[in-house]
């Protein structure tokens, strides 16, 4: 069977990754579904990170092979900044620069993000920056649903450990994944949402990569940053 067909069968069965058992016996008359069910072992998405401390979580992310992105990444990108920050910024996924350097938002979009932070009196070291995905999707394609599912427990544990006072979600993928919706960013921005059991305030804004392509939207992004600052002050006073 060719690689594409194999992938389609595995996707249809909800299997994200498979490993062969020691001595696969494939009979010529077997149906393909029988072959798969008798010779592959599903590797579940990480769920057991709920008790991991910061360091062990970092190690678990580096070692993760739950989805196929581990095959093409140079390294996993855990996140950067202060693990006790009040502000947590969540982007989409590492790009080529981030994959190479092991740090989120270091490419052109990262330069703009730095400038946006500087404009509101913040430096990267004072906040924490993470992504929905820890590994780069090849060719900078959108993350697949199963990849986001595989990574969700890692981000969830990061949020539990950081206990941010505010989450700034940048871009469509981040916002729709965190808020579990398919509403466009233009309708999600400009208001304070709540995230998770702790009801952490969450503000949505445009992704800096989008702002580089559509600089006329920077004004709205500036308004979102002002809302973020006011909300943060309200939460930390
Ligand atoms: N875009 C993102 O969403 N995250 C990064 O880390 C880099 C670019």
- The confidence band for 236, taking pLDDT boundaries of 50, 70 and 90, is confident
Q: 152 alpha carbon to ligand 1 midpoint, in Å? A: 16
Q: What is the pLDDT of residues 106-162, one digit of tens each?
A: 999 999 999 999 999 999 999 999 999 999 999 989 999 999 999 999 999 999 999
Burial of 141 (0-12, 13-18, 19+ CB in 10 A): exposed
Tens digits of residue pLDDT in 198-227 = 999 999 999 999 999 999 999 999 999 999
H or E element, residue 20: strand 18-20
Q: If DSSP codes are grouped into helix, strand and coil, which group holds residue 32? A: helix
Angle ∠(107,111,114) on CA atoms, nearest 5:
130
pLDDT of 237 reads: 78
Residues in the chain: 237
Give the range of the structural domain holding residue 19, as residue numbers without chain letter: 3-236
Cβ of 105 less than 6 Å from ligand 1: yes
In the reported structure, the alpha carbon of residue 111 is separated from the centroid of ligand 1 by a whole-number distance in angstroms of 11
Question: What whole-number distance in Å separates Cα of residue 110 and Cα of residue 55?
Answer: 25
Contact yes or no for 189/204 (Cβ under 8 A): yes
d(CA 57, CA 9): 32
Q: How confident is the model at residue 51 (pLDDT cuts 50, 70, 90)?
A: confident
Ligand 1 atom closest to the Cα of residue 173 is 3
Atom of ligand 1 nearest to the CA of 174: 3
Is ligand 1 within 6 A of the CB of residue 99? no
pTM score = 0.81
Q: Please, are residues 104 and 171 in contact by the beta-carbon 8 Å criterion?
A: no
The CATH number that applies at residue 168 is 3.40.470.10
Ligand 1 within 6 A of 92 CB?
A: yes
CA 109–ligand 1 middle distance (angstroms): 7
CA distances, 171 to each of 24, 45, 52, 210, 211 (Å): 45, 24, 28, 8, 10
Give me ligand 1 centre to Cα 88, in Å.
14
**Cα–chain center distance at 140:** 13
Ligand 1 centre to CA of 209 (Å) is: 8
What is the whole-number distance in angstroms between the Cα of residue 2 and the centre of ligand 1?
33
Judge contact between 103 and 125, C-beta under 8 A.
no
If one residue of 61, 110, 155, 172 were mutated to test the ligand 1 pocket, choosing by the most ligand atoms within 8 A of its CB, it would be 110
- SS3 breakdown of the chain: % helix, strand, coil, rounded to 5? 50, 15, 35
Q: Is the pLDDT of residue 62 over 50?
A: yes
Neighbours of 119 (CB within 10 A): 10
Specify whether the CB–CB gap between 211 and 222 falls below 8 A.
no
- Report the alpha-carbon distance of residue 92 to residue 22 in Å, rounded: 37
Number of domain units in the chain: 1
Q: How far is the CA of 227 from the centre of ligand 1 (A)?
A: 22
> 95 CB less than 6 Å from ligand 1?
yes
Residue of 103, 104, 209 to test ligand 1 pocket, by largest number of atoms within 8 Å of CB: 104
Cα dihedral 91, 96, 101, 107, rounded to 10, equals: -60
């Amino acid at each position: 069977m060719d690689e594409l067909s194999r992938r389609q069968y595995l996707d249809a069965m909800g299997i994200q990754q498979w490993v062969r058992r020691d001595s696969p016996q494939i009979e010529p008359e077997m149906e393909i579904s029988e072959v798969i069910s008798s010779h592959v072992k599903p590797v579940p998405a990480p769920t057991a990170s709920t008790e991991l401390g910061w360091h062990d979580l970092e190690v678990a992310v580096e070692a993760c092979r739950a989805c196929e992105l581990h095959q093409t990444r140079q390294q996993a990108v855990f996140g950067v900044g202060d693990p006790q920050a009040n502000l947590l910024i969540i982007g989409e996924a590492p790009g080529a620069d981030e994959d190479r350097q092991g740090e989120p938002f270091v490419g052109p979009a990262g330069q703009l993000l730095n400038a946006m932070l500087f404009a509101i009196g913040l430096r990267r070291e004072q906040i924490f920056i993470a992504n929905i995905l820890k590994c780069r999707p090849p060719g900078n394609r959108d993350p697949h649903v199963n990849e986001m599912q595989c990574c969700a427990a890692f981000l969830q544990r990061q949020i539990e450990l950081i206990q941010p006072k505010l989450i700034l979600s940048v871009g469509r993928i981040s916002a729709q994944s965190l808020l579990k919706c398919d509403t466009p960013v233009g309708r999600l921005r400009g208001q304070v949402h709540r995230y998770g059991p702790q009801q952490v305030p969450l503000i949505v804004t445009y992704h800096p990569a989008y702002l580089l392509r559509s600089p006329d939207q920077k004004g709205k992004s500036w308004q979102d940053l002002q809302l973020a600052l006011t909300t943060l002050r309200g939460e930390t006073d």
